Chains A and B, each alone.
Chain A
Amino acid sequence: MLRPVRRLPSRPSTGFAVSAVIGCLLLGGCSDAPTFRPDPLLVADQQLEPPRVDTAAAILTRLFGTPDHPKAPPVLAGLLDQSLLAEAAGPVASHTPGVTTGLYRRHCASCHGITGDGAGPAALYQHPYPRDFRQGVFKYKSTYRDAPPTQEDLATVLRDGIANTAMPSFALLTDREITALTQYVRYLALRGQAETALLQRLQQSRDASVNGQTPGESIDDADWAASELLPRLANTWREAHQSIVPVNQDWQAATSEAWDAAVAAGKKLFHDTRRANCVECHGPAGQGGTTLNDHDLWNKRVHAFDADTERMAALYQTRTQELQQTPPQRQALLEEQLAALGGQLDRRRATATALLPARLAEPRVLTPGSLRGTHTPQDLYRRIQQGIAGTPMPAAGNAAAERPSEMSEQELFQLSAYVMHLTGMPRAESQPATPAPRTNH
Chain B
Amino acid sequence: MPDTDSPNRPSAWVTRCAWLLCLLTFPLLWVGGLVTSTDAGMAVPDWPTTYGYNMFSYPWQTWLFGPWDLFIEHGHRLLASLVGLVTIALVLLTWKKDPRRWLLTLTVVALGLVILQGVLGGVRVVENERLVAMVHGCVGPLFFALTVLLAVATTRAWKGPPPGATNRRTAGWLLATGVLAYVQLTLGAQLRHMPETASPWAFAELVKLHLLTAGLVAISGFAAAWSARKRDDPMPVKRLTGLLAAVVVVQLSLGGGTWLLKYGCPGWARELVPATMDAVIADGMLQTQVVTAHSAIGSLIIGLAVAATAYALRHAAPVSSPNSISPPAGGEQAV
Contact = CB atoms under 8 A, between A and B. Distances in A.
B202 interface: yes
Main secondary structure of the interface of A (DSSP, over half): loop
Interface string B119-130: 000000000111
B204 A124 contact: yes
Given A124-B203, A126-B264, A127-B265, A30 B198 contact: yes
Contact of A163 (B68, B197, B279): B279
Given A18-B205, A120-B196, A171 B42 contact: no
Interface in B199-240: 199-209
Interface in A102-131: 105-107, 109-110, 113-114, 119-127
Nearest to A129: B200
Contact of B197 (A34, A162, A434): A34
B267 interface: yes
Interface string A8-28: 000110100110110011001
Contacts of A94: 42-45, 69-70
A317 interface: no
Interface in A305-359: 353-354, 356
Contacts of B42: 91-94, 100
Interface-centre pick from B128, B199, B277 (highest chain A CB count, 10 A): B199
A132 to B, nearest CB: 13
Contact of B200 (A18, A34, A97, A120): A120
B271 to A, nearest CB: 10
Given A106-B39, A169-B281, A170-B282, A123 B200 contact: yes
B190 A21 contact: yes
B282 A160 contact: no
Given A30-B198, A114-B196, A18 B209 contact: yes
Contact of B266 (A25, A125, A167): A125
A3 B42 CA distance: 52
Contact of A168 (B66, B198, B280): B280
B283 A172 contact: yes
A370 B196 contact: no
A68 to B, nearest CB: 12
A166 interface: yes
A369 interface: yes
Interface-centre pick from B196, B202, B262 (highest chain A CB count, 10 A): B196
B41 A92 contact: yes
Contacts of B262: 122, 166
A73 interface: no
Contacts of B275: 163-164, 367-370
Contacts of B199: 12, 17, 119, 121, 354
Interface of B: 39, 41-45, 51, 62, 66-70, 128-131, 134, 190, 194-209, 262-267, 270, 274-284, 287
